[in-house]
Amino acid sequence: MLNLEYLKNLNEKQKEAVLSLDGPLLIVAGAGSGKTKVLISRIAHIIEKKKAYPNQILAVTFTNKAAKEMQDRITKILKKGAIGLPWLGTFHSVCAKLIRKHARAINLNSNFSIIDQDDQVKLIKNISKAENIDTKKISPKYILSIIDQWKNKGWYPEDVILKKREVLEKSFLSIYKIYQSKLLDLNACDFSDLILHSVKIFEKNPDITEMYSKNFKYILVDEYQDTNLIQSKWLNYLAKYNQNICCVGDDDQSIYSWRGAEIKNFLDFDKIYVNTKIVRLERNYRSTQNILSVASKIISNNEARVGKNLFTKGEDGDLVSLNSFRNGKDEAIGVSDEIEKLKKKYSLNDISILVRAIFQTREFEERFLKIGIPYRIIGGIKFYERAEIKDCIAYLRVVYQNKDDLSFERILNTPKRSIGETTVKLLNEYAKQNGLSLEKSAISLIQKNKIKPKTKLGLSSILNLLEKWRNDLLNKKIGHIKLVQTILDESGYSQMLKDKKDLENENRLENIKELINAMKEYDNLESFLEHVALATSLDQDWEDKKVNLMTMHASKGLEFDVVFLPGWEEGLFPHQKSIEEKGQKGLEEERRLAYVGITRAKKKAIISFAMNRFYQGDWIDSLSSRFIDELPHENIKKNDYFEENGEDDFEFNQDIDFENEIKSPGWIRYQKKLKR
């Protein structure tokens, strides 16, 4: 056995992965199994044994951070100062470098520019207007997301084949054609083009393909489960000659299909590359055995997977907690009470709450603000700081108080009412000169005919609506809940979000529904606005130690001593939309998400669900997630609520006719259960 320093701290399977240099290799690396260490050691070994020069090694990652970490650690291992790995980087950075050398092959100059998303959106917006497509109803970001989907599949405009029912996509295709033509005129490309154009160069120029394929004696790919179709195709071209391609990843952590990731790339690796060797890294260095057993049992219910069993040589640790609560509010109280106990032993920085959807953070934020637990939102914004929530609050404040200039200015042109910056400036100047509020200034300027006709129409519209809403509230025709729903409908705000068909706006709608849930806890508009004011003005200049709140998607790659996993209810997790849109594939991805969530925990994992949940404006009886049925009994500990209420209390309320109203997967599953 070789006695090299970087091999000494590797276990047998890790060592096997490092030393197996010839031929295609798939490293199935379970969560916390040291895959980065293996990748780095493998590159170091290739260089140390003189199997290839640094410029003959291609190593691709998904983030610049991962690429830098690899470069730094390889240099440290080899102790040769700043050894250069010119072809180590992200997919996009490597492709950009390649295209600069062969730009002429795709009719670009080598000094082409790479446009960012803001520039992409502007370009799509301009094209849409020219094509008479209403960007108020169809978001340029949504159009761009469809174009990106096509590019991720390797489709130029001429490659796109549409079905008869895809009428909307037909108009997007015409935009796509113009968009690509404009980019060519600008001597530019977007990020998706970098890989698309690289593949085109390889397809049209076999000599270039052969040159790179022969040059790269070794290819290494990190997080292979997250690759899309075009990335896989790109790798196939480069690995064609030497076949020494090593892909590292975990099919059980493939959770990004919504951004184009294809788990099929991972599952079919041994079909693409004959004589593939598969090495499983199953020893976990992060979590206790009880946590690993729970994660392994849940994920074993998936059919589309390579398969592995995680284990640790460490301690069994605490049993995974399974807690039931009467409702969502009690769940937030229960979690916060547990954190109060745990903070004596663990730093708040090492405690995390992982939710399926970002709107779920609201109840926890409310509770933490109330009792003074410091927190941060990872990969997102605090609930009352989200743009759509601030918009709704601004509308309510203006209705309640007509001198609130800041709120008036915020809602004035949201949604668009042809009220531009020039008009806003005019209103502010007039208000200052005459000692008036902005709203009174607007009324006065309209009366004096100082506003342009088109702008006057929009300004009059919002002023009339404000007067109507105030009268409705004053005369007690509507309460504060009905008020916000009326505002959202009559202002056009809800329709604005519904028209812009993208994931971002779907999340915004969910957040607004959660805001309405919050409002139902208060008797009137005044008390709710007071609550919001206090919640947002509390001194939150806390010490650095804070509880982490994030989605399960945002948690990938992170680890914490203690992980809370709330909201494990059918329809919420697994998410109803995911199953409705993708069927079995959607369910299996949701289960992989559960696996990712659980394996973030090092010492303690606490799963919970509520028997009742205020969701989308109504109280519903919840059915616990099917994933809870899959938990191994020997590795979990239930809270007292199970003992006090018995199993029957976890069924739907039989006195309510849900059947005609709820067709969720949970409800369907429950009906099948009754018929057994």
For the annotated catalytic residues, the residue numbers are: 35-36, 222-223, 253, 600
Q: Which long-range contacts (C-beta less than 8 Å, at least 24 apart) are formed by 440-449?
A: 440/402
Element (DSSP H or E) covering residue 341: helix 328-342
Closest C-alpha among 163, 196, 201 to residue 179: 196
Burial tier of 38 (Cβ tally within 10 Å: 0-12, 13-18, 19+)? buried
Q: Could you give the CA distance from residue 184 to residue 204 in angstroms, rounded to a whole number? A: 18
Give every CB contact of residue 150 below 8 A, 6+ residues apart in sequence. 159, 160, 176
Q: What token pair was written down for 85?
A: 């790995």
Q: Could you give the CA distance from residue 273 to residue 642 in angstroms, rounded to a whole number? A: 51
DSSP secondary structure string for all residues of 78-89: HTSSS---TTEE
Closest C-alpha among 502, 522, 485 to residue 616: 485
Q: Could you give the CA distance from residue 598 to residue 592 in angstroms, rounded to a whole number? A: 10
Closest C-alpha among 328, 323, 320 to residue 640: 323
Burial tier of 375 (Cβ tally within 10 Å: 0-12, 13-18, 19+)? buried
Q: Could you give the CA distance from residue 515 to residue 525 in angstroms, rounded to a whole number? A: 13
- Contact assessment for residue 123 and residue 147, using Cβ atoms and an 8 Å cutoff: no
Burial tier of 153 (Cβ tally within 10 Å: 0-12, 13-18, 19+)? middle
Closest C-alpha among 527, 561, 526 to residue 547: 561
Distances in Å between the Cα of 590 and the Cα atoms of 227, 572, 575, 624, 625 are: 18, 10, 7, 15, 11
Q: What token pair was written down for 230?
A: 């075009």
DSSP secondary structure string for all residues of 57-100: EEEEESSHHHHHHHHHHHHHHHTSSS---TTEEEHHHHHHHHHH
**CA–CA–CA angle 25, 28, 32 (5° rounding):** 135
3-state secondary structure of 10: coil
Name the amino acid, one letter, at 544. Answer: D
Counts for the chain of helices (H) and strands (E), in that order: 29, 16
